[in-house]
A and B are shown apart, each in its own frame.
Chain A
Amino acid sequence: MAGAILSAALLAGLSGAPAAEPEQRPLEIRIGYLRQPQPKITLSLLQMPAENDGVAGAQVAIDDNNTTGRFLNQRFSLEEVKLGEHDDPAAAAAALADRGVSLVVADLPADALLKAAEAGRPRGLLFFNAGALDDRLREEDCRANVVHTAPTRSMLADALAQYLAWKQWRRWLLVVGSHPADRLYADALRRAARRFGAKIVQERVFEDTGGARRSDSGVVQVQRQIPVFTQEAPAYDVLLAADESEVFAGYLPYRTWDPRPVAGSAGLVPTSWDASHGQWGAYQMQNRFVARFARRMTALDMQAWSAVRMIGEAASRTRSADAKDLFTFIKGPEFALAAFKGQKLTVRDWNLQLRQPILLADGRMVVSVSPQEAFLHQVSELDTLGVDRPESKCRLQ
């Protein structure tokens, strides 16, 4: 595969620019980006998602792919499809197929993704799930035409639990939000506690009683509310918050009754990317992103970047634009993605999940990166994060 690629300049007798000359039509690789933005209001102003959250990462990866593509006579483009609340993801997938797009990055809720994947299947569509964290999409609801670049909740929870085990903060007070996504994250945290020897000393539910995320002088109320809510807990080392819905977790640090660190949905947060991550060449990635979009890169941006770069990597190795060829390569043993995480990212062949280290960030710094040292595995230490092959319920077909 790693043969010589003479640029058109050489083929044309050293005449022109290093870029491929247009006498030979470039190989076109069109990538769809299907998303259904969910209304999201965060507790922190800093974390309000940008309108182009995710798709911006895909665009930077398109640029990166095209820089490489200049030398290989390949051209990448992105076709964004934004669904409204009531739009049908299956119809959108079919429409992409009608336009000849067979590679689709998806930022969709789990059920919408399954509908799109089902509709795209007879048309040969290959999806890259960049948005949905749900374990079931890699387990009982896994699909043979969906690759996942987003980590799962269990991968995130395990990454956090390994670090807490290393810190020997083994007694957890778990506070769970009242929405379904919060409960799924709590499930992942309970599983992680079992796997890595932590004890959940008590669970509390933080009911979402509605109301605004922010209000004038709201901090005054919160400062009274949170200490009382966390009062009279059994002895614990760390408070774990499962609040994907952004109802309360951001209020916890510094306000708990007992002086304890917070982790999970606030405090020390496991994530696929953080704006402060600079190691392993990430600094260049961050610079590129900020230069293009004048904002910081988020985890969703990174997951979309990874998806488009996976396609680019497969296209440059196979010299093909055919989704089948690219998919075969991505699933194969030769595939490796360099994504600024200090080691290669590969694909779990049993459920098409991208293996990846998980950053633990506190909002200003990357505190650590999991897997932690000494959590060993017979295949890849990255498989200590999330559901492993022997436990998997996924049967790809």
Chain B
Amino acid sequence: MPAPVTPVGTMRMRLVAAVLAVGLLLAPAAPAHAYLAYVSNEKGNTITVIDTAKLEAVKTIKVGQRPRGIGLTKDGKYILVCVGDDDTIEMVDTVSHEVVGTLPSGPDPEQFTQDADGRILYVANEDNNMVTIIDIERRVPLGEVQVGVEPEGMGLSPDGKVLVNTSETTNMAHFIDTATRQIVANVLVDARPRFAQFKRDGSEVWVSSEIGGTVSVIDAAKFQVKKRIGFDIPGMRKEAIQPVGIAITADEKTAFVALGPANRVAVIDAATYDVKKYLLVGQRVWQMAFTPDEKLLFVTNGVSNDVSVIDVGALRVIKSIQVGELPWGVTISRQ
């Protein structure tokens, strides 16, 4: 007996068609080059590998305890991931996807940045008010810089001469001369600064204040806050607006700021500092990374266990990709 076409079935067919149509509309025009995005899952103790052309997870790598800050070595051979509860940074081979070594990061590493040559790593040690400097190739510590309480955000100037570290309870951005390893200036920002990002021309450092709810734009030459960017989302309580991750396009025109439990990414005109748009993403959005061609931006949503993919040209969220438990950071391969 032929199955009758039920209204439900018709509905479902229509729904599928609609989803397909939307999918086609929203798909990036030309799914260009395939890069690999690596997402650290803080609670899952894993790294999820995402193919940026297919926009799907292709692999899960097991790592140590509490992976957070994540980046690739400049030669692309290793993923470096802070595993805070193991008090080290693990080196994951990008071909074999195995943990092949560790770096002497000092206790409870959370975030790091590296110099342009990929030789030196600067690590924030959240538990002991320290920035540790590491020779990546020799895997030895080169020195330490004493900073404020709970160091976290790490940004390096494009010329590599100035390192900016933010300390969460001291509420400062510390400007460190990388040659002398001395602090040259301390700039007060709003409460709980989480992330520091230089513009490509080195003129400004943007620092997000999670509890303060603002982004401070600091003049990198004068060490002065030149603009404090606030956020106002209709219907959203002020306390939920908690800026963390920042990404600025290479042409310095557009900045993206993750707003944590506000579940939105703010799009900011990086010249006028006006907030142009809020993009709805997953829950508790924290960190982000561009694909090298800057066509896509991947943002991590800690509570909803997924990554939202933003089409940078269209300023639209085009996909959510399920990853591991409590995604924290993301980094993307160069080729």
Tell me the A residues contacting B by CB distance below 8 Å.
1-7, 9-10, 14, 17-19, 64, 67-68, 71-72, 281, 284, 287-288, 309, 313, 316-317, 336-338, 342-344, 380-382
Q: A284-B150, A381-B239 are in contact. Are A6 and B188 (CB under 8 A)?
A: no
Chain A's closest residue to B207 (CB) is A2
State which of B127, B187, B188, B212 has its C-beta within 8 Å of the C-beta of A287.
B127
The winner among B127, B149, B172, B187 for most chain A CB atoms within 10 A is: B149
Give 8 A-B contacts (CB < 8 Å), ordered by A residue: A3-B224, A4-B187, A6-B185, A18-B182, A67-B170, A338-B192, A342-B261, A344-B213
What 0/1 readout, one digit per residue, does chain B (28-60) give for beta carbons within 8 Å of chain A? 000000000000000000000000000000000
Q: A336-B211, A344-B213 are in contact. Are A9 and B182 (CB under 8 A)?
A: yes
Check B150–A281 contact: CB distance below 8 A: yes
CA distance in complex: A9, B242 (Å) = 33
**Closest CB pairs A-B (n = 10):** A18-B183, A4-B223, A343-B239, A71-B186, A338-B211, A68-B170, A338-B191, A338-B192, A2-B225, A4-B224
Given contacts A281-B150, A343-B240, A343-B242, 16 further A-B contacts (CB under 8 A): A4-B185, A4-B223, A6-B185, A14-B177, A18-B174, A67-B148, A68-B171, A316-B188, A336-B191, A338-B168, A342-B261, A343-B211, A343-B239, A344-B211, A344-B213, A380-B237
CA distance in complex: A63, B211 (Å) = 21
In the complex, B190 has a CB within 8 A of chain A:
yes
Report B211 CB to chain A, min CB distance, Å.
Answer: 4
Kindly list chain A residues whose C-beta atoms are within 8 Å of the C-beta of B184. 6-7, 9-10, 14
Check B216–A2 contact: CB distance below 8 A: yes
Check A336–B190 contact: CB distance below 8 A: yes
Kindly list chain A residues whose C-beta atoms are within 8 Å of the C-beta of B210. 338
In the complex, B189 has a CB within 8 A of chain A:
yes
CA distance in complex: A315, B223 (Å) = 20
Kindly list chain A residues whose C-beta atoms are within 8 Å of the C-beta of B242. 343
State which of A10, A284, A287 has its C-beta within 8 Å of the C-beta of B185.
A10
Kindly list chain A residues whose C-beta atoms are within 8 Å of the C-beta of B213. 344
Kindly list chain B residues whose C-beta atoms are within 8 Å of the C-beta of A64. 149, 169-170
Check A2–B187 contact: CB distance below 8 A: yes
Check A68–B148 contact: CB distance below 8 A: yes
In the complex, B73 has a CB within 8 A of chain A:
no
CA distance in complex: A257, B137 (Å) = 67
Q: How many A-B residue pairs have CB under 8 A?
A: 114
Check A5–B237 contact: CB distance below 8 A: no
CA distance in complex: A1, B171 (Å) = 13
CA distance in complex: A336, B230 (Å) = 15
CA distance in complex: A68, B148 (Å) = 6
Chain A's closest residue to B214 (CB) is A2
In the complex, B99 has a CB within 8 A of chain A:
no
Kindly list chain A residues whose C-beta atoms are within 8 Å of the C-beta of B108. 284, 287
Kindly list chain A residues whose C-beta atoms are within 8 Å of the C-beta of B96. none
Tally of B interface residues using CB under 8 Å: 45
Tell me the B residues contacting A by CB distance below 8 Å.
108, 126-127, 129, 145-146, 148-150, 167-172, 174, 177, 180, 182-192, 210-213, 216, 222-225, 228, 237-240, 242, 261
Chain B facing A: main interface SS = loop
Chain B's closest residue to A343 (CB) is B239
Kindly list chain A residues whose C-beta atoms are within 8 Å of the C-beta of B171. 68, 313, 316, 338
Report A69 CB to chain B, min CB distance, Å.
Answer: 9
Report B210 CB to chain A, min CB distance, Å.
Answer: 8
Chain B's closest residue to A341 (CB) is B211
Report A132 CB to chain B, min CB distance, Å.
Answer: 26
CA distance in complex: A230, B290 (Å) = 62
Report B179 CB to chain A, min CB distance, Å.
Answer: 10
Kindly list chain A residues whose C-beta atoms are within 8 Å of the C-beta of B150. 281, 284
Chain A's closest residue to B228 (CB) is A2
Report B165 CB to chain A, min CB distance, Å.
Answer: 11
CA distance in complex: A343, B225 (Å) = 23
Check B182–A68 contact: CB distance below 8 A: no
Q: A64-B149, A68-B148, A71-B148 are in contact. Are A6 and B180 (CB under 8 A)?
A: no
Report A178 CB to chain B, min CB distance, Å.
Answer: 40
CA distance in complex: A380, B237 (Å) = 7
Kindly list chain A residues whose C-beta atoms are within 8 Å of the C-beta of B170. 64, 67-68, 71
Kindly list chain A residues whose C-beta atoms are within 8 Å of the C-beta of B149. 64, 67-68
Kindly list chain B residues whose C-beta atoms are within 8 Å of the C-beta of A281. 150, 168, 192
Kindly list chain A residues whose C-beta atoms are within 8 Å of the C-beta of B186. 5-7, 71-72
Report B186 CB to chain A, min CB distance, Å.
Answer: 4
Report A15 CB to chain B, min CB distance, Å.
Answer: 9
CA distance in complex: A124, B134 (Å) = 51
Q: A68-B171, A71-B174, A344-B212 are in contact. Are A288 and B127 (CB under 8 A)?
A: yes
Kindly list chain A residues whose C-beta atoms are within 8 Å of the C-beta of B228. 2
The winner among B129, B174, B177, B211 for most chain A CB atoms within 10 A is: B211
Kindly list chain B residues whose C-beta atoms are within 8 Å of the C-beta of A313. 171, 191
Kindly list chain A residues whose C-beta atoms are within 8 Å of the C-beta of B225. 2-4
Report B329 CB to chain A, min CB distance, Å.
Answer: 16
Kindly list chain B residues whose C-beta atoms are within 8 Å of the C-beta of A381. 237, 239
Report A313 CB to chain B, min CB distance, Å.
Answer: 7
Q: A67-B149, A67-B170, A71-B174 are in contact. Are A7 and B183 (CB under 8 A)?
A: yes
Check A336–B180 contact: CB distance below 8 A: no
CA distance in complex: A14, B172 (Å) = 20
Kindly list chain A residues whose C-beta atoms are within 8 Å of the C-beta of B187. 2-5
Kindly list chain B residues whose C-beta atoms are within 8 Å of the C-beta of A1. 188
Report A49 CB to chain B, min CB distance, Å.
Answer: 26
Check A2–B190 contact: CB distance below 8 A: yes
Chain A's closest residue to B184 (CB) is A10
Kindly list chain A residues whose C-beta atoms are within 8 Å of the C-beta of B185. 4-7, 10
